[in-house]
């Protein structure tokens, strides 16, 4: 059995005391332990940001990529892959990768540490910072409408769409475990309090606003119901919005459907005709 403490990397997290990322890290370790996935079978890929430092603090394989580019290497690696990154990373500079990874239904789990701010670069507005919010880069309030990541992944064709809260670790652990178990892409947006740059959005504001979808009998196979819940602004739903089966990207490719590319014998492949093209 893989225990949570076995997943400690020995590098103490460098996040601000109280940061929501501590809860997300603990929930991710809890989910890997619950599913008994050994460290050597997991790769955690990230971009750049406070949240993207996460692979340093967990004992699995890790890859910290470029800002906004956690998903392309995660797609390439394609093992028991978890990709992590912030809202700026995933919904700003990495938005195109986000949309295309969702529609491809690659079998990976994408956790977004959504603190509604650029944390690492000291508090500029991000795509999820709500209209009117005053930040360092918007002293008079954000002018544009914020993006709704749940609606975007639903529209793009994601087969597992969920949202968690870094302050409810048992609930988030369960969501991450379900996301990893899901065959196909799973998108888990996580409300992650940033105690340094979003002092106006502390844990208790989230606690007052959120409610759990499963407590209200939400049907996770109903697309229209998921869209309606995702539109809510007065109350903030957490839990699974949508969860349906669909063939994964790999399952759509006959050559690698049964066995992975690396396990195909190469001695029977005649490459001479391809070589001739380059001679």
Residues that bind ligand SF4 (CB under 6 A): 15-16, 19, 21, 50, 115, 119, 194-197
**196 is in the binding site of which of Mg ion, ligand SF4, ligand TPP, none (Cβ under 5 to 8 A by kind)?**
ligand SF4
CB-count exposure of residue 198 (10 Å: 0-12, 13-18, 19+): buried
Exposure string over 42-53, b if 16+ CB within 10 A, otherwise e: bbbbbbbbbbbb
Note whether 162 and 91 are within 8 A (CB).
Answer: no
Q: Least Å distance between CB 153 and ligand TPP?
A: 17
86 binds Mg ion (CB under 5 A): yes
Q: Looking at beta carbons only, is 89 or 174 nearer to ligand SF4? A: 89
- The residue number with the shortest CB distance to Mg ion is 86
CA distances from 47 to 83, 170, 250, 264 (A): 9, 26, 24, 32
* Residues binding ligand TPP (CB under 6 A): 48-51, 67, 85-89, 93, 113, 115, 117-121, 126
Q: Looking at beta carbons only, is 33 or 192 nearer to ligand SF4? A: 192
Note whether 191 and 206 are within 8 A (CB).
Answer: yes
Q: Looking at beta carbons only, is 6 or 200 nearer to Mg ion? A: 200
Q: Least Å distance between CB 166 and Mg ion?
A: 12
Q: Least Å distance between CB 20 and ligand SF4?
A: 7
Three-state DSSP class for residue 73: helix
Calculate the dihedral angle through the C-alpha atoms of 141, 144, 146, 152, rounding to the nearest 10 degrees: -170
Q: Least Å distance between CB 83 and ligand TPP?
A: 13
In this structure, what token pair is assigned to residue 172? 């988030």
Whole-angstrom distance, CA of residue 126 vs CA of residue 91: 8
Q: Least Å distance between CB 202 and ligand TPP?
A: 16
Q: Least Å distance between CB 53 and ligand SF4?
A: 8
Helices (H), 57-163: 71-77, 87-88, 95-104, 149-156
Largest CA distance in the chain: 69
Pick the stretch among 85-93, 133-141, 156-164, 180-188 that binds Mg ion (CB under 5 A): 85-93
115 binds Mg ion (CB under 5 A): yes
87 binds Mg ion (CB under 5 A): yes
Q: Which residues bind Mg ion (CB under 5 A)?
A: 86-87, 115, 119
């Amino acid at each position: 059995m893989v225990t949570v403490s076995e997943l400690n990397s020995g590098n103490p997290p460098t996040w601000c005391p109280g940061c929501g990322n501590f809860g997300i890290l603990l929930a991710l370790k809890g989910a890997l332990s619950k599913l008994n996935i050994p460290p050597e079978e997991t790769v955690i890929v990230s971009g750049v940001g406070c949240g993207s430092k996460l692979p340093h603090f967990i004992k699995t394989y890790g890859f910290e990529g470029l800002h906004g580019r956690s998903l392309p290497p995660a797609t390439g690696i394609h093992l028991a892959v978890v990709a992590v990154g912030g809202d700026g990373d995933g919904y700003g500079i990495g938005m195109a990768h986000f949309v295309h990874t969702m529609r491809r239904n690659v079998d990976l789990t994408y956790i977004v540490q959504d603190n509604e701010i650029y944390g690492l670069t000291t508090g500029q507005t991000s795509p999820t910072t709500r209209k009117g919010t005053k930040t360092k880069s918007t002293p008079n309030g954000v002018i544009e409408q914020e993006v709704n990541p749940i609606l975007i992944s639903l529209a793009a064709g994601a087969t597992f769409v969920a949202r968690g809260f870094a302050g409810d670790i048992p609930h988030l652990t369960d969501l991450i475990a379900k996301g990893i178990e899901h065959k196909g892409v799973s998108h888990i947006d996580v409300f992650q309090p940033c105690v340094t740059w979003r002092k106006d959005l502390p844990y208790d504001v989230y606690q007052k606003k959120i409610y759990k979808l499963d407590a209200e009998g939400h049907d996770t196979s109903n697309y229209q119901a998921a869209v309606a819940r995702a539109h809510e602004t007065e109350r903030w739903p957490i839990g699974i919005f949508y969860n349906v089966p669909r063939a994964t990207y790999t399952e759509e490719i006959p050559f690698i459907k049964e066995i992975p590319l690396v396990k195909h014998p190469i001695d029977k492949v005649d490459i001479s005709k391809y070589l001739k093209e380059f001679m």
